[in-house]
Amino acid sequence: MSEQIQPEQTEKTDQNEAPASFEDVYAVSTELVRTVEAALEDNDDAALREVLKPLRPADMADLVVVLGRENRNRLAVVLGNDLAIDTLVDLEGSVLADLLAVMSPHAVARAIPELDTDEAVHLLEEMNDARREQVLAQVPAPDRAAVLEGLSFPEDSAGRLMQRDLIAVPAYWSVGQVIDYCRDTDELPDEFYEIFVIDPRHRPIGQVALNRLMRTRRPVLLREIMEAEATTIPVDMDQEEVAFLFQQYRLTSAPVVDAVGRLVGVITFDDAAAVLEEEAEEDLMRLSGVSSETDLLDTALRTTRTRASWLLLNLGTAILASLVIAMFEATIEQIVALAILMPIVASMGGNAGTQTLTVAVRALATRELTAANSMRIVGKEIVVGALNGLLFALLVGLVAAWWFDAPTLGIVIAVAMVINMVVAGLAGTLIPLGLNRAGIDPAVAATVFLTAVTDVVGFFVFLALAALFLL
């Protein structure tokens, strides 16, 4: 390492200067986007290809996303079938569908054999049935069979995530045999991190990480160095559970087995990371009433439609709250201060409830909240609601009493506040726990239920107490 510097090495290092910041590493700058937009505008195909040439597929995918729909399709037409298949693999939803529609079925079919099974399945999922058949008809038979098998597994199952290419060898092989096998075989997976050890019935009985192979001498048998307690994934396991296991046990790759325990594929850490990301995003979106993940890039019309259903649900709860207010029409007529103050009670309850709800939804996803500790957590959240309720009741009570010069009004709003915030803590935990026990994603519609509860309780308690004690 302390030898003379060789000419070609200095050259190399000059090219590879140390990056100083994120912008030196990540290629998709605003400047790049502007340059591409200008080239598309001018129909300057040569300039366009020149700018795009150094981009890695993943960066190309990001560029395609940031360009508008119109420029995106124009770009796809210019590049045509030269649009690298690796770029498509990194895309999803409406953007992927748009681009697949521009490419010829033949070009897609030609690329399929180069992809991992899970990647090919990802592309084919985004096509309608007619186009999928068109493409599949042109894929070589063995690859077609692999892809069709992939598509036969339920959506969001381990079977869809896995790739079929893997290295499986018997336990009596030596390290030297495995290395020779890898050197002599052309058809190895593109990437692999572990060698799987199987029994004569093709069931996985252990695995050996490559770094373990690297540090072991040739004559040693796999049986002696394999990890026998490795985590095995059933092919129909939900992808959310698969991702959880990868995170939990820091897995690099894991064998997937069929119903009788035979090794049928392998899932790698990058597949699992993508699912984790997707699930976290889904929780976030669902809590805010957004259903589709590619929402931002959809057309305005499609976005409007997907968001309307949630807004309609919310309208229902808002009208419910209005009906509660209407019950106290006569009271409000006499004391307008109630109309002025009532949104405070509802809003504070809603916010306290959302805090609890979000923490509970997240904790359910990470399995920090389970049947084993749910009652303790519900109890704690009630206490938190009561404590913050008391704190803010005091504050709001004083403000109201001073503002309207009415001490009793201050007491009424304070009591309503405490009650609503305890209810918020209760609803914020019980709603997601209930949805979860019913087998429903706790993030779905939880916020609507919660707001319905905190609005109705907030308005009712405040106005009813006012009707009782202020009239």
Query: Which positions from 243 through 282 interact with a second copy, judged by CB under 8 A?
Result: 244-245, 247-250, 252, 257, 259-261, 269-270, 273, 276-277, 280-281
Residue 170 interacts with a second copy (CB under 8 A): yes or no: yes
With the C-alpha atoms ordered 296, 299, 302, 305, is the resulting torsion angle positive or negative? positive
Residue 319 interacts with a second copy (CB under 8 A): yes or no: yes
The β-bridge partners of 169 are 197
Distance in Å, CB of 348 to a second copy, minimum: 6
Residue 341 interacts with a second copy (CB under 8 A): yes or no: yes
Q: Residues in contact with a second copy, total (CB under 8 A)?
A: 162
Distance in Å, CB of 132 to a second copy, minimum: 26
Residue 344 interacts with a second copy (CB under 8 A): yes or no: yes
Residue 177 interacts with a second copy (CB under 8 A): yes or no: no
Distance in Å, CB of 107 to a second copy, minimum: 23
Distance in Å, CB of 395 to a second copy, minimum: 7
Whole-angstrom distance, CA of residue 336 vs CA of residue 406: 13
Whole-angstrom distance, CA of residue 46 vs CA of residue 39: 9
- Cβ count near 21 (within 10 Å): 7
Question: Per-residue x/- marks for a second copy, 54-93, CB under 8 A?
Answer: --x-xx--x--xxxx-------------------------
Distance in Å, CB of 30 to a second copy, minimum: 4
Residues in 93-152 that interact with a second copy by CB under 8 A = none
Residue 398 interacts with a second copy (CB under 8 A): yes or no: no
Residues in 430-459 that interact with a second copy by CB under 8 A = 451, 455, 459
Which residue number, 110 or 203, has a Cβ lying nearer to a second copy? 203
Q: Which residues contact 338 (CB under 8 A, 6 or more apart)?
A: 328, 331, 332, 462, 463, 466
Residue 461 interacts with a second copy (CB under 8 A): yes or no: no
Among 7, 16, 46, 155, binds a second copy (CB under 8 A): 16
Among 301, 438, 439, 471, binds a second copy (CB under 8 A): 301
